[in-house]
Amino acid sequence: MALLEVVGLTVEFKTANGQFRAVDAIDLTVDTGDIVAIVGESGSGKSVSMLALMGLLPWTATITAERMVFNGHNLAGLSARERRTIIGRDMAMIFQEPMSSLNPCFTVGFQIRESLKTHLNLSRRERQHRAVELLDQVGLPEPEKRLAAFPHQLSGGMNQRVMIAMAIACQPKLLIADEPTTALDVTIQAQILELLVELQRNSDMALVLITHDMGVVAETAQRVSVQYAGQKVEEQPVLPLFDAPAHPYTSALLAALPERSSGRHLASIAGVVPGQFDRPAGCLFSPRCEHVQPLCHEQVPSQTQRDGASVLCHFPLDRQGRPTHARQDHDSQNQNQNSQTDVNQINGGMQ
């Protein structure tokens, strides 16, 4: 059984202008020891979907799912007591905005010790000892001294690492890390990613890593889920995703990487992600897709498979990056060419 199994997760917000669907029928399966990255444009519902799992969305959100099971517990029907023992202990999250999730009125040491107190049966001294150990693990120099500091006395990067220390304090089975290193310098980022991967390796922690940095994805993740406008448009293991993306959005995103440019200009995706009021009919990516066909404007695509990739597209790209409809044309041409070669060979053979 998977550690986390989510099927058809949908989140709608009540807004002044009516219902807004921020997450649209997302599936996610995570096994013990997995590292899954979630990537996608700003506003594509990455944070909201994970906050929904944690039960941390405001009342304006309506959450529905066919299945939402963590470690045998149905997340939709947790009692308050179960929630306390699971959320924050077995399933923990590093939040995107560290300052908003640390309490400015208490020292960071107090906050770390409190979270240890809530979830673990440790003595006072053990808690203090563990707090020092945690700050040391996330690479904060002089941990004893830092424990006495208030959040405003630390830099953004330091607070981010305090958050990380709190999230891993109880050795969670699943850690959801929402842009954990975005505020950090590359030197510190490398240190933190190393730590997270080490936890995954040594204690079989599963890691869901939300990031917009394709470099971090390439170096850290085993599997990648790509979101666009609230939907999961593609999921693949990391190697084939970078090598042969199946969804035109993923392909366009990778092409926009400066590393992949050959000239003065970068490949770019025209237009912007649709908002609440300009969601197109059919495929949500259709207004920006370079392979768009008439069908895409009319009909909503459904999840299909392409050797190991799950993809939400009418015309998934093949391993050569050609859309399915083009491949059909191309293949028939190829066949013609092949038969011609055959004829030549036969001719050659006859001469």
Partner 1 sequence: MTSSSPLVVADNLTRFYTVKSGAFSKPSVVRALAGASFTLEAGKTLAVVGESGCGKSTLARVVTMIESPTSGTLTIDGKTITPDDSSARAALRSSVQIVFQDPYGSLNPRQKIGRILEEPLVINRPSMSAEEREAKARDMLRLVGLRPEHYSRFPHMFSGGQRQRIAIARALMLEPRVLVLDEPVSALDLSIQSQILNLLVDLQDQFNLAYLFISHDLSVVKHMADDVMVMYLGQPVETGSRDAVFERAWHPYTRVLLSATPVADPTHQKDRIVLTGELPSPIDPPSGCAFHPRCWKADSRCQQTAPLLQSAELPAQPISQPSAPPEAGALNHYLACHHPEK
Provide the pairing of β-strand 223-228 with 91-94: unpaired
Q: Is the dihedral of CA 193, 195, 196, 197 positive or negative?
A: positive
The nearer residue to partner 1, 65 or 317, going by C-beta atoms, is 317
In DSSP notation, 91-147 reads EEEE-S-HHHHS-TTS-HHHHHHHHHHHH----HHHHHHHHHHHHHHTT-SSHHHHH
Determine contact, residues 52/23, Cβ cutoff 8 Å.
yes
- From candidates 4, 216, 292, 309, binder to partner 1 by CB under 8 A: 216
Residue 272: contacted member of ligand ATP, Mg ion, partner 1, none (CB under 5 to 8 Å, by partner type): partner 1
| Min dist. Cβ of residue 318 to ligand ATP (A) | 28
Residues 261-290 vs Mg ion: string with x where CB under 5 A? Answer: ------------------------------
User: Quick check: helix, strand or coil at residue 296?
Assistant: helix
Contact flag: residue 92 with partner 1 (CB under 8 A): no
Contact flag: residue 328 with ligand ATP (CB under 6 A): no
Q: Which one of 11-19, 65-73, 105-113, 256-264 is the stretch in contact with partner 1 (CB under 8 A)?
A: 256-264
Contact flag: residue 232 with ligand ATP (CB under 6 A): no
Q: What is the largest CA-CA distance in the chain?
A: 93
Residue 127 corresponds to which amino acid? R
Residues 73-112 vs ligand ATP: string with x where CB under 6 A? Answer: -----------------------x----------------
The nearer residue to ligand ATP, 39 or 135, going by C-beta atoms, is 39
Give the Cα separation of 166 and 161 in Å (integer).
Answer: 9
The DSSP output letter for 307 is: T
Residue 265: contacted member of partner 1, Mg ion, ligand ATP, none (CB under 5 to 8 Å, by partner type): partner 1
Contact flag: residue 101 with Mg ion (CB under 5 A): no
Considering only CA atoms, which of 155, 126, 127, 124 is closest in space to residue 140? 155
Q: Which one of 91-99, 106-114, 246-254, 298-306 is the stretch in contact with partner 1 (CB under 8 A)?
A: 246-254
Contact flag: residue 242 with ligand ATP (CB under 6 A): no
- From candidates 6, 28, 38, 47, binder to Mg ion by CB under 5 A: 47
Determine contact, residues 6/65, Cβ cutoff 8 Å.
yes
| Min dist. Cβ of residue 180 to partner 1 (A) | 13
- From candidates 74, 215, 305, 343, binder to partner 1 by CB under 8 A: 215
Considering only CA atoms, which of 349, 89, 340, 81 is closest in space to residue 205? 89
Give the Cα separation of 192 and 213 in Å (integer).
Answer: 15
Q: In the block, which residue shows the tokens 């947790």? A: 78
Contact flag: residue 46 with ligand ATP (CB under 6 A): yes
Binding residues for partner 1 (CB under 8 A): 41-42, 139, 141, 155, 157, 185-191, 193-194, 212-220, 238-239, 242, 252-254, 256-261, 264-270, 272
